[in-house]
Structure 1
Amino acid sequence: MTVAALDGVEVDYAARGRALGPFSLSLAQGEIVALVGPSGCGKSTALRLLAGLEAPTRGEVRRTPGRGETAVVFQAPTLAPWLSARANAALPLELAGVAGETARERAAEALDRVGLGGAEDARPAQLSGGMAMRVSLARALVTGPKLLLLDEPFAALDEITRRALADDVLALWATTKPAIVFVTHNVEEAVYMAARVVVMTPGPGRAAGEGAVDGPLPRPAGFRTTPQFRQTVEAVSDLLAAGGAR
């Protein structure tokens, strides 16, 4: 079953012309797809189209998730600084009309799932970068989305935290199996996170090619050192080079 698709989409902006396309992408139920490409190739634009935050200039966007069934996590956690971690995580539920006490209980459960049990009352200023991103993930997961869109969520974090959060996201995915699109500049991160990696050309972004990633999800310990992981990283890197990445 197809959860979302971009069919020959193009996006033009008055100030800078064509930003994306033509570009096509189909996402199956429970599938994890990574988009990689150089800066300015339109990865985030494609994500906004899938989220329904923007409309294409040409082409078609198809989405099956209903209201409240798509969640987006951006590079910055975008937390309300005056709210606690629990209140931040509860926001999507409250906006959907879920009763306050029920929303807070579900938010606390979501925070516990991302490893922040006991930190429900902390404000964003009291959280590390990794903890703030975990709150952002909890906020995205609290509605049980069918489509989860991740726009370079680990880019500002150190390597140790990035790797820990990658494993956390995959573990969370294993419980409810949402379809995920993961945008990153990091080839190794893309291959680790996804079952399929789509490589984009420099802007206006088109598909330069794609590669399947063999191996179980979530990833077992030591997966980054396996021959299939290294070979896939090299294959994706070659696609980037062939596509004229700069």
Structure 2
Amino acid sequence: MSLDIAAGEIVALVGPSGCGKSTALRLLAGLEAPTRGTVTRAAGRGETAVVFQSPTLAPWLSAQANVALPLELAGTPRPEARRRADEALARVGLCAAVAARPAQLSGGMAMRVSLARALVTSPRLLLLDEPFAALDEITRRTLADDVLALWATTQPAIIFVTHNVEEAVYMASRVVVISCGPGRIVGDFPVEGPLPRPPQFRTQAAFRTTVEAVSASLAEGVAA
């Protein structure tokens, strides 16, 4: 499997369960080492942040403290870390929830806190591993737009895993289809249109055409 990601690019990885999508993200994050081949990052790479399917928040900490945690672990003084955490929470629309603990948050709010924690370090590479899988459709769509709006401010490279083809085409500038394990790239589809997406983007003919092309490639990859 050979894959290049450009700075500021948004790439979706789709494929059947077990094909290696999440493993690819773990390799990019440095959480695993490849048994063969190499993972190469450009010089001056900046921070990498990961958002998992579960928000993975510390239940005993407030939203503010959860978001400030990576900064404090990196040595940022607590007052500065908490100030930046408040700014990150404001960016995801959670100004009023800085003192709330995870048990007091809805699923969508908890995922927003997780996104704020990822963004607080100003990453140049943001990895999203099915972050919306457990959420209802309305919340998923809202958070998809939120992620694209956040991307527009600093434009990190984003690689995200999803089983939802429409979500992949909506959020990404490029959709990569992976076959059954051992995973191989069987399709690489550019997605035309501005980012963030304009209203009614899902109803446009180009969107529907790309969704159908990705779906057909995915079906061929499963059958292969």
Pairwise TM-score range, normalised by the shorter structure: over 0.9
1:110 is paired with a residue whose SS is helix
Residue pairs, 1:1-246, within 5 angstroms = 23-64=1-42, 69-244=47-222
1:178 to partner: Cα distance: 0.1
Of structures 1 and 2, the one scoring higher in RCO (CA 8 A, sep 6+) is 2
Q: Name the one with the larger strand percent.
A: 1
Q: Does the 8 A contact of 1:65 with 1:147 survive in 2?
A: no
Post-superposition Cα deviations, 1:80-124, rounded to whole Å, max 9, x if no partner, equal: 000000000001100110000000000000000001011100000
Percent sequence identity over aligned pairs: 78
Q: Does the 8 A contact of 1:65 with 1:146 survive in 2?
A: no
Post-superposition Cα deviations, 1:154-183, rounded to whole Å, max 9, x if no partner, equal: 000000000000000000000000000010
1:244 to partner: Cα distance: 2.4
Report the AA paired with residue 29 of structure 1.
A
1:209 is paired with a residue whose SS is strand
- Unaligned 5+ segments in structure 2 are none
Number of equivalent positions: 224
Segments of 4+ moved more than 3 angstroms: 65-68
Report the AA paired with residue 162 of structure 2.
T
Distance change >3 Å, CA 188–CA 65, structure 1 → 2: farther
Post-superposition Cα deviations, 1:119-153, rounded to whole Å, max 9, x if no partner, equal: 10000000000000000000000000000000000
2:3 is paired with a residue whose SS is strand
1:133 is paired with a residue whose SS is helix
Q: Does the 8 A contact of 1:68 with 1:96 survive in 2?
A: no
Q: Distance in 1 between matches of 2:63 and 2:43?
A: 27
Q: Does the 8 A contact of 1:38 with 1:245 survive in 2?
A: no
Q: Name the one with the larger helix percent.
A: 2
Q: Does the 8 A contact of 1:68 with 1:143 survive in 2?
A: no
TM-score where L is the length of structure 1? 0.89
1:67 to partner: Cα distance: 7.9
Report the AA paired with residue 28 of structure 1.
A
Q: Distance in 2 between matches of 1:140 and 1:118?
A: 19
Distance change >3 Å, CA 179–CA 65, structure 1 → 2: farther
- Unaligned 5+ segments in structure 1 are 1-22
